[in-house]
Each structure stands twice: as C-alpha cells, then as structure tokens.
Amino acid sequence: MNVTADTVRQLRERTGAGMMECKMALVETQGNLDAAAELMRKQGLAKADKKATRVAAEGVIAIERAADGRSAAMVEVNCETDFVAREQDFGGFAADVARTAVSSTAADLDALVVEKLPSGESVDERRRALVAKIGEKISVRRLARLAAADGPLGAYRHGTRIGVLVALKGGDDTLAHDLAMHIAASNPRYISSADVPAAEVAKEREILTEQAQKEGKSPEIAAKMVEGRLRKSLGEITLLGQPFVKDPDQTIEKLLKSAGAGVVSFQRFEVGSGIEKKQEDFVAEVMAQVSAAARN
C-alpha cells in the first residue's frame, strides 16, 4: 500500500521516532496509525530490554519540593552519554520523575517506577519509550525523600550533576540553603563522628598507629599523635567537623551552635557516583564495525 508523507509525519509526532522507523511500521500495519504506534511501542520495549546490560553512568539529578515546602524528593536518572544528559526530553523525564516522587507515597524505586507521570504513562513505560527514541540505556537509579518536622528544609542542585537535601532542627531557610551548598561542595559522609561506624574508626586508628610507630616515636607520644590525627581524619569526613565553605575560620558545628540549630539528616547525590565506567576504545570499536560490515 501507499504510505503518505502526512501519515508518517503524524506517527513521528506521536512517537518521536525516526522517519524510516515510522514508515516501516505503517507499511507493516497497512497504514493504521494506532496499530503502528502500538507496534512501535512494543518494539521500543524490546530495544529497552536489549540495552539493559549497558553501563549508564551519565545523567542528571532532579529535585522537587512539595507545595508546602516541608518535604522534597531527589532522584538520579542515568543515561550513557553526557550528550543525552543535556537533551531536553531526557531532562524533562527526570523532572517529571522527581515531581511524581514528591507527590506519591512510593517508598522505594520499585514502587516509584509503576507510579503514573503527568502524561498518564508509568515512570517505567516512559523510560522504555525514551530508550527506544534516544537509543541509550536509561535508568532511574536512586530516590531520596526528606521531610522537615522541627525546622527548615534545604535543597540545592549544583548544575545538573550534584544534588543535596538537608533537614534541620531550628535555624532558618538561609542556613538550610547554605548547609546544602556546603554539603554539595565538601561531600561529608556522616553528620558527626558519633555516626562513623566503629569498624571504620578502628581501621583508621590501626593505620595511623602503624604510621606513628614507623616514625620511631615513643608509645606515649605515638598514642597522642594517633588520637590527634584521628580527630582530624574524622573531621574531614563528618559535616560537623568540616570548615564552613563560606567562612573557613569556623566549623559547621560552631555555625550550628551560633544559630541554635542542628542537622537531622541529609542526602547527597552525584551523578554516576559508585558506577564503574567502561573505558571505551573508539578506534577499536570503529574497526570492529567495519570488519563486521565487510563480513556481511
């Protein structure tokens, strides 16, 4: 049958797919727009499944506050390349996921991906459709939700790659925002030294003790050196022990005391953190494609 250019255009507007893909789907469904769109959706799901084993270490962090400002949600949505991370459809999807997260009761990612987006699709349905359209693996990797009960809630996004939520007890919105910015910059792992696991403290003390012994210090002096260095080490990885980025002469602990405030909890996401990126050999990849084409 003859598939018209106008029919192809309509299908492209509905699916966002390429012209040849739309034309082939229309030919297969004898020009039926609805059937062609459904066929392409099914094909897209298959493509998404095939791409599931790829490494997706690029992407964006999206943050959304609730209407009352007392709670917020943060998500990390990943793709394979920074080019796609800057793409409008991808960014819009991440923003929609964050909006859905803050308005839903989903407690984890498994519950979130079946929630409905404003478009009526579920999060996972929209993700798979984007995989089919963009041609990269896309995943919703992490979800964090924070609520403030006795103080302000700070939210900060540095570009699109780092996001922070922090809940305070006491203080004001300015302090909450400043602390969120500080956490984004300084990347503390814990709130205070009391929160550091005992096993981690013991391991650090063991390493520092070996270092002190190699320096030939007496046991008494070595013990004091170890404790001093341990305090410094714990200060570097804990929020309260870090110098405030906007005023390095005071620690976060002193800043909070002067404001009569405390940190209840915080979450910090950085795109791709903890993901082992595949080292691509572009030349080898091109040569492999050329060889495969020659064999065919």
Fold held by 54-147: Tetrahydropterin Synthase; Chain A (3.30.479)
pLDDT at position 36: 78
- Is pLDDT at 28 greater than 90 in this prediction? no
Residue showing tokens 């020659």: 294
Tens digits of per-residue pLDDT, 92-149?
999 999 999 999 989 899 999 999 998 899 999 999 888 888 888 899 999 999 998 8
Tens digits of per-residue pLDDT, 198-209?
999 999 988 888
pLDDT at position 220: 84
Tens digits of per-residue pLDDT, 230-279?
999 999 999 999 999 999 999 999 999 999 999 999 999 999 998 766 55
Domain map of the chain by residue range? 5-51, 54-147, 193-259
Which residue from 257, 269, 258 is spatially nearest to 101, judged by alpha carbons?
269
Q: How confident is the model at residue 213 (pLDDT cuts 50, 70, 90)?
A: confident
Does the domain made of 193-259 have the CATH classification 1.10.287.130? no
Which two three-digit tokens encode residue 41? Answer: 């959706």
Question: Which of the 8 DSSP states describes residue 171?
Answer: S
Does the domain made of 5-51 have the CATH classification 3.40.30.10? no
Phi/psi region, residue 215 (left: phi>0; alpha: psi -120 to 50; beta: rest), is: alpha
Average pLDDT of every residue of the chain: 86
Rounded to whole angstroms, how far apart are CA atoms 141 and 175? 29
Give Cβ neighbours of residue 278 (< 8 Å, ≥ 6 apart): 55
Residue showing tokens 């270490």: 57
Which two three-digit tokens encode residue 133? Answer: 């359209």
Give Cβ neighbours of residue 232 (< 8 Å, ≥ 6 apart): none
Rounded to whole angstroms, how far apart are CA atoms 15 and 217? 72
